[in-house]
Amino acid sequence: MNVAVVDLGMGNLRSVERALERAAADAGIACSIRITGAPDEIAKADKIVVPGQGAFRDCAAALEAGVGDALREAIARGRPYLGICLGLQALFDASDEAPGARGLGVFAGRSVRLEVAPGVKVPHTGWNRIALARAGAGPLGVFDGDPPFVYFVHSYHVVPGDASLVAATAEHGPNRITAAVQRDHVTATQFHPEKSQRAGLRLLEAFLGT
C-alpha cells in the first residue's frame, strides 16, 4: 500500500510521516509512506494524508498549482483521504482568513475565526477533549465510547454547509469547534493526530487499516 503525505509547502510533514510509520509498525500494516507534492504521485497513491499548518492563502495557492485537481480526482475515485488541520479546512470552499482564496470545494462551507472571550485565548493551543457527534464515523470510530483528549493549534475552524458532516466537536470558551468531519472515505481533523500521542496513533492506525 502506498500512502502519499501531500506537501503543500507548509507545516509538520516529517512529524506526520513519522507518526504514520509508527502507527503502521504498531498495527503490523505494510505500507510505503512518501512525502510528495507531485500531482502524478498523489494520483497513484492508495491513501492520501493532507497535513498543513499555516495560512489558508498559502494553502490555496499550493492547491492551484495542480495539487488541487489531483486531490479532487482522487477523492472522486474513492481514495481514502485524511486531512489534518489545514487539510480539513482545504476540503471546503473558502476561509474568512483569506477572502478570495479558494479551497477544494469538495464540501460546502467555510472557515471562520474563533471568538475571543475573557480568559479564552486565540489561537486555541493545547489539549482538549473531543465529543463525538455520531458513532461509527470511519476511522474516528476507534473513539466510540471513549472520546480522548487531543492536541489543537488553530485560530479558525470550519462551519460546514451540511451539519451532518461533523463527526466530532470540542469546546473552547464560547466556541463549539468542528473538531472532525467525516463522510464515506473522507476523514479530516482540526486537531493534530501526530501530536496527540496514543490517541492520535490509534486514529492513524484505523485510517491505515481501513
Q: Please tell me the distance from the alpha carbon of residue 86 to that of residue 72, in angstroms, as a whole number.
A: 16
Helix (H) or strand (E) holding 24: helix 13-27
C-alpha cell at 45: 497513491
- C-alpha torsion sign, points 160, 163, 168, 171: positive
Is 194 in the active site? yes
C-alpha cell at 27: 498495527
Q: Which residue in 102, 116, 3 sits closest to 57, CA to CA?
A: 102
Catalytic-role residue among 154, 157, 172, 192: 192
Sorted by sequence, the CB contacts under 8 Å of residue 192 that are 6+ apart come out as: 12, 84, 85, 150, 151, 152, 153, 200
Contact indicator for 156, 96 with CB cutoff of 8 Å: yes
Catalytic-role residue among 17, 97, 194, 205: 194
Q: Please tell me the distance from the alpha carbon of residue 89 to that of residue 44, in angstroms, as a whole number.
A: 23
Cis peptide before 174 (omega within 30 of 0): no
Is 73 in the active site? no
Task: Give me the residues paired with residue 35 across strands.
Answer: 5
- Give the Cβ contact number of residue 66 at 10 Å: 14
C-alpha cell at 43: 494520483
Catalytic-role residue among 17, 85, 97, 124: 85
Is 97 in the active site? no
Catalytic residues: 85, 192, 194
